[in-house]
């Protein structure tokens, strides 16, 4: 059947098309690895981090998250379903992070390989018409064409150009490090993302309040708050113990804190500790681990004497500051060993004032320094519920125990150091003084050195991108048709920061001077002007 015999309405089969699935995948990969896509993903990553700075995060403070739920009972559950209280561990943040990582790798690696090949390649041949380039000019000279190009080559090599001579023309190029800086910048960005991801996966962090004379070991059971990456096991924690010998806080005349320093001893468990002094901006650094001072406060001490004569001396518990300007603090002290067999367990709920003043029967603090320490306590006896299996805060009493009548208020008083409160059953509570405590944070981030190196390399690459120029210079010499000598045509093409005109003008002036100097210099053999060989 010929074409004319083909039935009407039946079209000829078209050319074979590539498989649709492979074509779509290739198109998707090209779009993902485009630089524009990487920039968009980087913007989305920055945008996704905004809720993490505006809303409280569980990884930083569960108490603040609970407070937000209390203040916004309708909005908070909706935000929680969107992972806005766990932004940096949410699936959508991880998806953007992963796509950015893949996009950068797919964009930068081919570009880096191409640049590596270009580094070893010779400068391209000169264009056919040099005068069409942005900067160009003609330099007539009495020198023959070959010697004129010799002068240009010498001048360009002094300026650190890579020069290639071809028949009657010259090509030169420099500024390869500009593209090297570009590739280094993006490779460093990938390394930075890797370091941050490694720190999140294998890093951990714990916070604890340590009173003077006490200490802790690096174990997640001892921390008040603890968070770790998904690849961290309890056996991976660094074996390190820290004891707080003393804590000192210094204040300016206007009562603002000037410095916090903690004297500590540290070392592996079972070994004698080494002394060190740490502060807010001077953490302890041990093999990639860091111990920071993040806060401080006071731990009032009490001496409790039971009716049978049993005495508990200098028992203390940190009271959490409620006002940083005066360091007034609130807390609780629980003594389950006092009357453990019955319902006469003892608990104290108190308010500590470093410089106490009683105004209208209410104790308050007027100075953060412990000049006149006083404490207001309310004593309860009964069942504390510590063995009920329900977790309790060590810094406050369980309100439900009081509401249900399991804890009965049996006394209250404002006490100065040395004063006592006597309870109806004969128990005596004496305010014996105070100790200071430090809030310590133990951090392990295996990617911190990697991140530091990547950040330095990123800065170096950025400086190379901004300060260096990619510049090409072409020259062609031809005999002068009007007389002896030759005409030298020079042109340049510059990519980068700054104006190229003044640079080309300076190069032309230097070439003109060098050509004139070569013309006036006698030939070493003939004594005449140099000639083209």
Token pair for residue 291? 């111990």
Q: Which helix (H) or strand (E) holds 504?
A: helix 501-520
> How many Cα neighbours within 13 Å face the side chain of 9?
0
Q: Look at residue 518 in the predicted model and tell me its pLDDT.
A: 86
Which residues, in sequence order, are CB contacts of 292 under 8 Å at separation 6+? 278, 280, 283, 440, 441, 443
Contact indicator for 297, 319 with CB cutoff of 8 Å: yes
Q: Mapped to the 3 state alphabet, what secondary structure does 359-420 carry?
A: ECCEEEECCCCCCECEEEEEEEEECCCCCCCCCCCCCCCCHHHHHCCCEEEEEEEEEECCCE
Coil, strand or helix at 164:
strand
Coil, strand or helix at 511:
helix
Q: Look at residue 521 in the predicted model and tell me its pLDDT.
A: 67
Q: Look at residue 277 in the predicted model and tell me its pLDDT.
A: 94
Which residues, in sequence order, are CB contacts of 489 under 8 Å at separation 6+? 130, 131, 136, 137, 138, 139, 475, 476, 477, 478
Q: Look at residue 339 in the predicted model and tell me its pLDDT.
A: 60
* Spans of the chain below 70 pLDDT: 1-21, 59-61, 63, 339-343, 483, 496-498, 521-533
The residues facing 205 across adjacent strands are: 227, 443
Q: Which residue pairs, CB below 8 angstroms and at least 24 apart, start in 62-70?
A: 62/225
Q: Look at residue 69 in the predicted model and tell me its pLDDT.
A: 87
The values of phi and psi at residue 520, to 5°, are: -80, -15
Q: DSSP of 444-485, one letter per residue?
A: E-TTHHHHHHHHHHHHHHHHHHHH-EEEEEEEEEEE-TTSSS
Pick from 251, 219, 249, 271: nearest CA to 437: 249
Q: Look at residue 342 in the predicted model and tell me its pLDDT.
A: 54
Other CB atoms closer than 10 Å to residue 406's CB: what's the count? 16
Contact indicator for 152, 490 with CB cutoff of 8 Å: yes
The residues facing 268 across adjacent strands are: none
> How many Cα neighbours within 13 Å face the side chain of 485?
14
Please give the model's pTM, rounded to 2 decimal places. 0.67
The values of phi and psi at residue 435, to 5°, are: -130, 155
| Distance of alpha carbon 345 from alpha carbon 338, whole angstroms | 5
Q: Look at residue 357 in the predicted model and tell me its pLDDT.
A: 93
Label the pairing between strands 407-416 and 356-359. unpaired
For domain 122-174+468-520, give the fold.
Answer: TATA-Binding Protein (3.30.310)
Where are the domains positioned within the chain? 38-110, 122-174+468-520, 204-444
Pick from 194, 190, 198: nearest CA to 231: 198
Q: Look at residue 533 in the predicted model and tell me its pLDDT.
A: 35
From residue 127, alpha-carbon distances to 133, 293, 473, 487 in Å are 9, 66, 11, 17
| Distance of alpha carbon 61 from alpha carbon 224, whole angstroms | 11
Q: Which helix (H) or strand (E) holds 330?
A: strand 328-335
């Amino acid at each position: 059947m010929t074409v004319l015999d083909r039935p009407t309405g039946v079209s000829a089969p078209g050319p074979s098309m590539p498989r649709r699935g492979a074509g779509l995948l290739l198109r998707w990969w090209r779009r993902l690895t485009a630089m524009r896509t990487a920039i968009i993903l980087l913007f989305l990553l920055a945008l996704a981090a905004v809720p993490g700075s505006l809303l409280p995060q569980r990884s930083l403070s569960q108490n603040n998250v609970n407070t937000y739920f209390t203040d916004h009972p309708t909005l908070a559950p909706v935000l929680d379903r969107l992972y806005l209280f766990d932004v940096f561990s949410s699936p959508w943040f991880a998806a953007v992070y992963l796509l950015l990582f893949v996009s950068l790798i797919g964009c930068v690696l081919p570009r880096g390989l191409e640049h590596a090949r270009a580094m070893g390649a010779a400068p391209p041949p000169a264009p056919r018409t040099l005068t069409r380039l942005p900067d160009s000019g003609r330099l007539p000279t009495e020198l023959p064409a070959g010697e004129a190009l010799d002068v240009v080559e010498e001048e360009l090599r002094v300026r650190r150009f890579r020069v290639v001579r071809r028949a009657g023309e010259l090509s030169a190029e420099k500024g390869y490090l500009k593209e090297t800086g570009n590739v280094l910048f993006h490779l460093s960005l990938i390394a930075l993302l890797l370091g941050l991801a490694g720190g999140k996966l294998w890093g951990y962090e714990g916070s604890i309040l340590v009173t003077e004379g006490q200490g802790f070991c690096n174990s997640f059971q001892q921390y008040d708050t603890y968070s770790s990456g998904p690849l961290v096991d309890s056996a991976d924690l660094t074996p390190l113990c820290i004891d707080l010998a003393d804590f000192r806080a210094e204040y300016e005349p206007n009562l603002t804190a000037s410095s916090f320093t903690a004297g500590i001893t540290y070392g592996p468990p079972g070994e004698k500790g080494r002394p060190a002094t740490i502060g807010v901006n001077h953490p302890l650094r041990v093999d990639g681990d860091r111990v920071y001072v993040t806060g401080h406060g006071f731990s009032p001490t009490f001496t409790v004497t039971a009716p049978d004569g049993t005495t508990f001396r200098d028992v203390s518990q940190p009271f959490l500051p409620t006002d940083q300007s005066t360091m007034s603090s609130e807390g609780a002290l629980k003594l389950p060993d006092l009357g453990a067999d019955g319902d006469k367990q003892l608990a104290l709920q108190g308010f500590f004032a470093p410089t106490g003043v009683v105004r209208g029967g209410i104790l308050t603090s007027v100075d953060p320094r412990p000049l006149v320490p006083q404490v207001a306590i309310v004593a309860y006896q009964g069942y504390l519920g510590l063995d009920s299996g329900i977790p309790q805060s060590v810094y406050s009493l369980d309100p439900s125990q009081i509401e249900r009548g399991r804890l009965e208020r049996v006394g209250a008083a404002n006490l100065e150091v040395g004063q006592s409160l006597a309870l109806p059953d004969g128990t005596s509570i004496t305010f014996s003084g105070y100790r200071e405590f430090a809030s310590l944070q133990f951090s392990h981030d295996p990617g911190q050195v990697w991140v530091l190196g990547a950040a330095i390399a990123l800065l170096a690459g950025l400086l190379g991108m901004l300060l260096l120029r990619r510049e090409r210079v072409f020259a062609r010499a031809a005999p002068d048709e009007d007389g002896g000598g030759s005409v030298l045509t020079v042109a340049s093409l510059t990519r980068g920061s700054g104006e190229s005109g003044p640079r080309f003008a300076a190069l032309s002036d230097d070439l003109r001077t060098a050509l004139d100097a070569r013309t006036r210099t006698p030939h070493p053999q003939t004594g005449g002007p140099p000639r083209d060989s």
